[in-house]
Amino acid sequence: MTIEELKDNIRVIEDFPKPGIHFQDITTVFMKPDCLRELSQRLYELYKDKGITKVVGLESRGFILGGIIAERLGAGFVPARKKGKLPGEKFTETYELEYGTDTMEMHTGSISSEDVVLIHDDLLATGGTMAAASRLVSRFNPKKIYLNAIIELTACPKLEVFPKELELSTIIKIDVD
Residues noted as catalytic: 61, 98
Query: How distant is the alpha carbon of residue 134 from its chain centre?
Result: 10
Q: How many CA atoms lie within 13 A of 139 on its CB side?
A: 16
Number of Cβ within a 10 Å radius of residue 126: 18
Q: What angle do CA 153, 130, 148 make, to 5 degrees?
A: 70
**Cβ-based neighbour number of residue 42 at 10 Å:** 19
Integer CA distances (angstroms), 151 to 32, 50, 114, 157, 173, in order: 17, 21, 29, 15, 6
- Separation between Cα atoms, residue 134 and residue 73, nearest integer Å: 20
